Amino acid sequence: MKRRDLFVGGVLAAAVAPLAAIGAEPASDSGVTLPAQARTVAALRDLDLPRSLQPAVHFDPRLPGVEYPPQTNSLQLAARRIPKLPASDTDIAFAPVTDQSHWLRTGQISSRRLTEIYLARIARLEPKLHYYITVTADLARAQATAMDAELEQGKIRGPLHGVPYSLKDTFDTKGIATTWGCALFRDRVPTEDAAVTRMLQEAGAVLLGKVAMGELANGWEWFGGECMNPWNLEEPAGGSSSGSGAATAAGLCSFSIGTDNLGSVLNPADRCGIVGLRPTFGRVPVRGAMPLTPSLERIGPLCRSVEDAALVLAAINGRDPSSACSIDMGFSYDAAIDPSKLRIGYSEAWFGQVGFEKTQEKVAATAELAALQALKDIGVTLVPVELPKLPYMALLENLYVESAAVFDDLGLSGRDAQLVNRVGWPANWRKARQLSAVDYLQLERFRRLVMQHIHSLYSDVDMVFGPTYGSFEFFAIMNFTGHPGLTLRAGFAQSPSRARSIENFFAPADSKGSRHTITRNVTFHGRLFEEGRMIALARILEARLGVQARRPPVG
């Protein structure tokens, strides 16, 4: 039997088994019988549904009856003295976007020179790093030249004008391969740009290339190898926006764009010691990005400094009328925030253990505790918070069901056996088929309950703060409720190389192995659409900690 037939038969068998267990008999073969239902499923599977087709039921993070104040599109950056252009190309490459933007506007550097600095670094370091799937050198030079011509004419598109960036290989780029990190799609060449690709081009940013991602947005392995951490090339860079995090940390672009379904922006940013921003669900258009989980997909920047994230989010924020899940909300950022007026939720327990599961937890490094103290010192009011005892991890089944539906053709045809990681998506997609439609909708009802609990929590605090993985439950919940999150470097620790398997992500590969410098991050989670206030407080904490400028040892 073909796999498709086995799965159709499995639908019938899975449905009949519970009836047999309670001594019931399935009804006769009429329009409402199980054989008829199996035929309906088979008919559906014969349809060639476009992968990008969105479900008729769509997710909205906003609760009914709750007001979400509108925002004007505005940027008020922190007042600070920007240094003159450094003499060293390396110093220029690692500079924040805020500085690079100033040097471009004031004529201290051209976009073409800045672009060539990055292309030279990519040519020199890429052979040992494998962060880029496709380098678009000719396009980058052409875009940079065009942006310089506009600057000479006095035209400035915005703070990203002439700034070189990289794009996770999940976003469509017209005439340029978009592989999704998967060998099955390595020859896929889109005929038009993704919404975000177009928005960044309109903002004047210069595309250096498409960076590696975990295969079909899972992990850090792709058809060209593994994406490793620039702080220690013996351990992973995190995923699934692996290349975005690693290339930004290694100074191979000014900033990058990643996607996040379950931590895929925050995780590589945490691993590589940079800033990662996961915006509110619906804020950034997803059209032209690889479809995966319609109710979870988010797009956000990975940067080397906190305020850079505000510049990038301002450029990619906007409504997409072609998307049922797009939300029309302006983005306002004002660095002049008074920390003494903010109430920040935290839990002492989160600062004692860090990890996914009990077997993987380890004592938090002193960097996270130092960041908590720094937050106290800048004047916020810390408020202890506690989550209700609920089975939050059940929500993960939602991710597996949605991704299984989007990539149904791979499972039914058996092509999922060709994936690099056969334990990841294939196993979870098969498991998803065992969840009944009734149980799936019960999960969605539970999700609404969790949204109500989190709304209640945020009625008492402005943000929640902790180590990125101080509570994996809270980390995961924020994905399913649609709330924004921002991670930034808190400091450093010495550690043996961490394992390369997702199952032992926090554990050292060899506890007695040589120790390396690793970065430690902390994370803010904010109210819906309040990224501006979250970025403003994170910028103050970043300045207080003073650890962001240190570079990884990649050259």
* Per-residue pLDDT tens over the stretch 304-354: 999 999 999 999 999 999 899 999 999 999 999 999 999 999 999 998 866
pLDDT of 379 reads: 98
User: 283 lies in a domain?
Assistant: yes
Q: Is residue 247 part of a domain?
A: yes
Structure tokens at 84: 């003159």
The SS3 call for residue 451 is: helix
Q: What's the rounded Cα separation, in Å, for the pair 428 and 446?
A: 21
Q: Are 83 and 95 in contact (CB under 8 A)?
A: no
CA angle at 368 for the pair 365 and 372, rounded to the nearest 5°: 145
How far apart are the C-alpha atoms of 524 and 463, rounded to whole Å? 7
Considering the domain boundaries, does residue 281 fall inside one? yes
Name the active-site residue from 168, 244, 403, 497. Answer: 168
Sign, CA dihedral 6-11-16-18, equals positive
- Quote the pLDDT of residue 95: 98
Please tell me the predicted confidence (pLDDT) of residue 2: 55
331: exposed, middle or buried (Cβ count in 10 Å: 0-12, 13-18, 19+) = buried
Helices (H), 275-395: 306-316, 366-377
Say if residues 469 and 270 touch (Cβ distance below 8 Å).
Answer: yes
The model's pTM: 0.94
Q: What CATH number is associated with residue 354? A: 3.90.1300.10
Question: Active site includes 166?
Answer: no
CB neighbours (10 Å) of residue 336? Answer: 9
How far, in Å, CA of 530 to CA of 535, rounded? 9
State the distance between the two ends of the chain, measured CA to CA, in whole angstroms.
55
Check residue 4 and give its pLDDT.
56
The domain of 178 spans 97-391+443-545
The one catalytic residue among 241, 254, 264, 497:
264
Q: Within a domain: residue 304?
A: yes
Q: Is residue 61 part of a domain?
A: no
Residue 171 lies in a domain: yes
Q: What is the pLDDT along the chain (555 residues), one digit of tens a residue?
A: 455 554 444 444 444 444 344 344 444 444 568 888 889 989 998 999 999 999 999 999 999 999 999 999 999 999 999 999 999 999 999 999 999 999 999 999 999 999 999 999 999 999 999 999 999 999 999 999 999 999 999 999 999 999 999 999 999 999 999 999 999 999 999 999 999 999 999 999 999 999 999 999 999 999 999 999 999 999 999 999 999 999 999 999 999 999 999 999 999 999 999 999 999 999 999 999 999 999 999 999 999 999 999 999 999 999 999 899 999 999 999 999 999 999 999 999 998 866 544 444 455 678 999 999 999 999 999 999 999 999 999 999 999 999 999 999 999 999 999 999 877 899 999 999 999 999 999 999 999 999 999 999 999 999 999 999 999 999 999 999 999 999 999 999 988 888 777 666 667 777 788 989 999 999 999 999 999 999 999 999 999 999 999 999 998
In this prediction, residue 354 carries a pLDDT of 63
28 is catalytic: no
| Annotation marks residue 168 as catalytic | yes
Q: Say if 58 falls within a structural domain.
A: no
The torsion of the CA quartet 163, 168, 171, 174, rounded to 10 degrees, works out to 60
Considering its fold, how many domains does the chain have in total?
1
Note whether 388 and 451 are within 8 A (CB).
no
Question: Which pair of structure tokens corresponds to residue 48?
Answer: 């060639």
What b/e sequence results for 457-483 when a residue is b if at least 16 CB atoms lie within 10 Å of its CB, and e otherwise?
A: bbeebbbbbbbbbbbbebbbbbbbbbb
DSSP for 206-261, please give it: EEEEEEP--TTSSSSEETTEE-EETTEEEEE--SSSHHHHHHHHTTSSSEEEEEES
Of 101, 110, 166, 240, the catalytic one is 240
Does residue 75 fall inside a structural domain? no
